[in-house]
């Protein structure tokens, strides 16, 4: 086989697997959503519980993503700029969500914050309900999305070095001015890219959130959980109509990601 033929064969394989694993499932979602006609699709989209699930998904992501963005930035800064005991342990803990099953993570949080959990007496005294409530969903999402921002920034900060920061300090800049004028501008595209990945993962999280939610319709169901509930009730059109909302949110995230990548390449 010639080199040219090998090239086109590999390209065809890439297109084939892209179509099989990405495009075909998306087409199937829309096909099932419109299986009973456009009016049935619109009627399914008017379901109040589905839109409550959309709002809850946005709320959970809106809380978890900024927290992980702030944590990820300062964690990456400390890891790349300082030497301290336990540094490798911190890196291992940050990578834990990649290795631990989301369902296992949800069960662990259930053992910690549940009514029979370790923190139950304190939470009852303070009248705080975490499990089967929005705070539990936020905690689960925080854990699952923890690595995305910090792991995006660590190699970027390592490659840039700290010469500019040291020069700023030598010229009399304090930490705040160094942060605003030097550090953040140098990593802003990587930070935004990590935030986008974190947000995408937060919106689609199912396993850990499912364990801690209790599947309470209209209260603790995020959009992925609402889709599962509708499908289990044999409401196929409603389930896939809700799935199209998640697809549109994914497309929006993808568009922002592409714009950011173009800006990064230009710079």
| Residue 151: CATH number of its domain | 1.10.3720.10
Q: Are residues 174 and 209 in the same domain?
A: yes
Do 111 and 242 fall within a single domain?
Answer: yes
| Same domain, residue pair 213 and 112 | yes
Question: C-alpha distances in angstroms, 163 versus 158, 160, 172, 190?
Answer: 11, 8, 14, 19
pLDDT at residue 265 in the model: 63
Task: Please indicate, yes or no, whether residues 124 and 1 belong to a single structural domain of this protein.
Answer: no
Look at residue 52 in the predicted model and tell me its pLDDT. 92
Domain span at residue 3 reads 1-33
Q: Are residues 195 and 97 in the same domain?
A: yes
Same domain, 157 and 217: yes
86 plus 182 within the same structural domain: yes
Output the pLDDT for position 58: 92
Question: What distance in Å separates the CA atoms of residue 59 and residue 28, rounded to the nearest whole number?
Answer: 28
Examine the domain organization and report whether 14 and 133 are in the same domain. no
CB 213 within 8 A of CB 17: no
Total of domains in the chain: 2
pLDDT tens sequence for the chain (267 residues) = 677 778 788 888 988 888 888 888 888 889 988 888 888 889 888 889 999 999 999 999 999 999 999 999 999 988 888 888 888 888 888 888 888 888 898 889 988 888 887 888 888 888 888 888 899 999 999 999 999 999 989 888 888 777 777 777 777 767 777 777 777 888 888 888 889 889 989 998 888 898 888 888 888 889 999 999 998 888 889 899 999 998 898 888 888 878 877 776 666
Torsion, Cα of 181, 157, 100, 202 (10° steps):
40
Please indicate, yes or no, whether residues 26 and 49 belong to a single structural domain of this protein. no
- 103 and 229 housed in the same domain: yes
> What is the reported pLDDT for 192?
87
Task: State how far the Cα of 37 lies from the Cα of 158, in Å rounded to an integer.
Answer: 54
């Amino acid at each position: 086989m010639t080199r040219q033929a090998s090239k086109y064969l590999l390209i065809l394989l890439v297109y084939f697997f892209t179509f099989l694993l990405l495009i075909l499932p998306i087409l199937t979602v829309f096909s099932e959503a419109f299986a009973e006609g456009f009016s049935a699709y619109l009627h399914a989209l008017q379901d109040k519980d589905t839109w409550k699930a959309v709002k809850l998904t946005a709320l959970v992501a809106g809380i978890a993503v900024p927290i992980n963005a702030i944590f990820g930035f300062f964690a990456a800064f400390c890891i790349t700029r300082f030497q301290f005991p336990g540094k490798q342990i911190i890196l291992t803990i940050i990578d834990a969500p990649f290795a631990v099953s989301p369902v296992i993570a949800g069960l662990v949080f259930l053992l910690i914050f549940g009514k029979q959990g370790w923190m139950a007496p304190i939470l009852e005294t303070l009248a705080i309900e975490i499990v089967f409530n929005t705070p539990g969903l936020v905690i689960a999402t925080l854990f699952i999305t923890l690595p995305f921002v910090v792991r995006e920034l660590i190699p970027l900060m390592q490659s840039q070095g700290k010469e500019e920061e040291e020069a700023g300090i030598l010229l009399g800049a304090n930490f705040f001015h160094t942060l605003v004028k030097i550090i953040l501008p140098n990593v802003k595209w990587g930070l935004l890219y990590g935030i986008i990945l974190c947000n995408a993962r937060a919106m689609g999280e199912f396993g850990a959130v499912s364990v801690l939610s209790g599947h309470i319709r209209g209260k603790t169901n995020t959009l992925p959980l609402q889709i599962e509930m509708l499908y289990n009730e044999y409401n196929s059109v409603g389930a896939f109509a809700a799935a199209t909302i998640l697809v549109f949110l994914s497309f929006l995230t993808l568009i922002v990601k592409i714009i950011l990548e173009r800006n990064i390449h230009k710079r």
